[in-house]
C-alpha cells in the first residue's frame, strides 16, 4: 500500500475508548474512454465527383510517356534562366494580379489588360469562371467525351452537368448543344481542338451556334491546343470576342509553351466578366516562377512556335502511317490523336505498356495518343501495325 496521508492509520481514541477503524485510500476511478468522434461534415456530393485521371507514369523501366499531351522539348535556355533568376526571390509573394504577365498577354492578343486574368493553369481559370457564373440548380452544357475536368468543375460549382454526345466524326454536335440550352443554363463549354478526340471548331459553325445561344449565357471557348491548329477555317477567337461579349476564351502555357510543370493559364473576355472572375480567383494564384517563365516565353515565342511546327509535321507523318495501317483516326488539329477502341481500350493500353508506351485510355471508349519525340512516334506506328483487335 502506498505511504501517504490518506493511507495512514488514525491511532486516536473514539468516544468509547476504542481506536477508530483504519481509513483506506479511495482509488481514483478510471477515466471513462472518450466516445469515438465522427469526422467533420463535408458536402455529401463530393464522394460522387468523377476522378481526374492524370497521365500514366512509368514503372521504373525506360518508357515513352505519351499520355499527357506534354511538349517533349525542354524549355529554351532563356526561359530556364528566367526561372532560375525568379527562384532567388521565392521568399517573397508573387505579384498577386500577375500584372506584367497580364499586360504581356494583352499586347500579344491586341486587347486591353482589363480583358485578361491569369490563373494556375487554364483548369483553374475555368473553375473561377464557374464560381463567378453558377449557383446551385444552374446547368452547364458541354460536349462529351471532352476534357475530363469539365464535369468536376461543374459539380464543384454546385451546377448540374448537361452532356451532349459528340458526332460520329468525334466533333461537337453544335445544333444539339444549342438545343440543350434551357432557362437554367448559365454556361456552355466548348473545346477546340476537342480533348481527347482532336477536331477543332470552325468559325462559321461556331458563329451560327452563338447566334442560337441567349446573350446572358456564358460560352467558354477552351483553346488549350490552339497553337497546333493549321486549319484556316477554325474559329477566329479574337474576332469572336469582339462580336460576342458573352464568350470567354481559355488558353494555357502548359502545352505548346512547355510550362506544364509551372501551371499558368489565362482567360480573356468582356471586362465585366473578367472582373467577376478575378474577384473569385485564388489570391496569389500564379507563382512567381510561372509568371517570369511565361513572360519570357512570350518574348521567345517565335522560337517556341518553331518547335510547335516540328510537332505538327510529326503529327502529319504519324497520322499518314497510322491510317495506312488501316486505322480510322478522326481529324485532329492538336498534338494528339484518338483511337475509338471501345471494349478493346484496356487490352490496347496493356499492349502499349508492354511495348514501353504510356498512353491515356478511357475505359470502354478509346485511347488518346500524344505526338512526342520521333522515336516514341515510331514505336506507336510499329504497335499499331502489329496490334490485333480482340
Per residue in 105-116, pLDDT (tens digit) is 999 999 999 999
- In terms of domains, do 183 and 97 share one? yes
Q: Domain end: 299, 331, 356, which one?
A: 299
Together in a domain, 241 and 111 = yes
Domain boundary among 299, 325, 349: 299
pLDDT of residue 15: 44
Backbone φ and ψ of 198, nearest 5°: 110, -35
> In this predicted model, what pLDDT tens digit does every residue of 318-351 receive, in sequence order?
999 999 999 999 999 999 999 999 999 999 999 9
Closest CA to 366 of 114, 146, 153: 146
Are 192 and 266 in the same domain?
A: yes
Q: Are residues 245 and 373 in the same domain?
A: no
**Residues 2-32 pLDDT 10s:** 433 434 444 444 444 555 555 555 666 666 6
pLDDT score, position 221? 98
Which residue range(s) make up the domain with 170? 77-299
* Residue 59 pLDDT grade (very low, low, confident, very high; cuts 50, 70, 90): low
Lowest mean pLDDT among 5-14, 95-104, 140-149, 381-390: 5-14
C-alpha dist (Å) from residue 248 to 122, 167, 271: 12, 24, 10
Are 126 and 238 contained in the same domain? yes
Span 229-239, mean pLDDT? 98
- The CATH number that applies at residue 253 is 3.40.640.10
Grid coordinates 462580336 are at which residue? 243
137 found inside a domain: yes
The predicted-structure confidence for 125-141, as pLDDT tens digits, reads as follows 999 999 999 999 999 99
- Domain count for the chain, please give it: 2
pLDDT, tens only, 286-324: 999 999 999 999 999 999 999 999 999 999 999 999 999
Quick one: 326 and 257 in the same domain? no
Domain end (from 273, 299, 325) = 299
pTM over 0.85: yes
Least confident of 43-57, 111-125, 312-326, 372-386: 43-57
For residues 274 and 152, membership in a common domain is answered with: yes
The per-residue pLDDT of the chain, averaged, comes to 91
Amino acid at each position: 500500500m502506498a505511504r501517504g496521508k490518506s493511507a495512514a492509520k488514525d491511532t486516536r481514541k473514539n468516544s468509547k475508548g476504542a481506536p477508530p477503524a483504519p481509513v483506506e485510500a479511495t482509488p481514483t476511478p478510471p477515466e471513462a474512454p472518450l466516445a469515438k468522434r465522427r469526422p467533420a461534415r463535408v458536402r455529401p456530393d463530393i464522394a460522387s465527383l468523377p476522378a481526374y485521371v492524370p497521365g500514366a507514369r512509368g514503372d521504373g523501366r525506360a518508357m515513352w510517356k505519351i499520355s499527357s499531351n506534354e511538349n517533349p522539348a525542354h524549355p529554351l535556355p532563356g526561359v530556364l534562366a528566367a526561372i532560375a533568376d525568379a527562384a532567388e526571390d521565392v521568399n517573397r509573394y508573387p505579384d498577386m494580379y500577375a500584372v506584367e504577365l497580364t499586360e504581356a498577354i494583352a499586347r500579344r492578343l491586341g486587347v486591353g489588360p482589363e480583358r485578361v486574368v491569369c490563373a494556375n493553369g487554364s483548369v483553374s481559370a475555368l473553375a473561377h469562371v464557374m464560381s463567378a457564373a453558377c449557383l446551385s440548380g444552374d446547368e452547364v452544357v458541354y460536349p462529351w467525351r471532352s476534357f475530363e475536368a469539365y464535369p468536376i468543375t461543374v459539380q464543384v460549382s454546385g451546377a448540374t452537368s448537361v452532356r451532349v454526345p459528340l458526332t460520329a466524326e468525334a466533333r461537337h454536335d453544335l445544333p444539339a448543344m444549342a438545343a440543350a440550352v434551357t432557362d437554367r443554363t448559365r454556361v456552355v463549354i466548348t473545346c477546340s481542338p476537342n480533348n481527347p478526340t482532336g477536331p477543332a471548331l470552325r468559325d462559321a459553325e461556331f458563329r451560327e451556334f452563338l447566334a442560337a445561344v441567349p446573350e446572358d449565357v456564358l460560352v467558354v471557348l477552351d483553346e488549350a491546343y490552339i497553337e497546333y491548329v493549321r486549319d484556316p477555317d477554325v474559329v477566329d477567337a479574337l474576332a469572336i470576342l469582339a462580336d460576342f461579349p458573352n464568350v470567354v476564351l481559355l488558353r494555357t502555357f502548359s502545352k505548346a509553351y512547355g510550362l506544364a510543370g509551372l501551371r499558368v493559364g489565362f482567360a480573356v473576355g468582356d471586362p465585366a466578366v473578367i472582373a467577376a472572375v478575378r474577384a473569385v480567383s485564388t489570391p496569389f494564384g500564379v507563382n512567381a516562377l510561372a509568371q517570369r517563365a511565361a513572360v519570357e516565353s512570350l518574348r521567345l515565342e517565335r522560337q517556341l512556335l518553331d518547335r510547335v511546327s516540328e510537332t505538327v509535321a510529326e503529327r502529319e507523318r504519324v497520322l499518314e502511317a497510322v491510317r495506312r495501317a488501316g486505322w480510322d483516326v478522326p481529324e485532329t488539329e492538336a498534338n494528339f490523336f484518338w483511337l475509338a477502341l471501345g471494349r478493346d481500350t484496356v487490352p490496347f493500353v496493356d499492349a502499349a505498356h508492354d511495348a514501353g508506351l504510356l498512353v491515356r485510355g478511357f475505359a470502354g471508349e478509346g485511347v488518346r495518343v500524344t505526338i512526342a519525340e520521333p522515336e516514341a512516334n515510331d514505336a506507336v506506328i510499329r504497335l499499331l501495325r502489329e496490334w490485333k483487335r480482340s
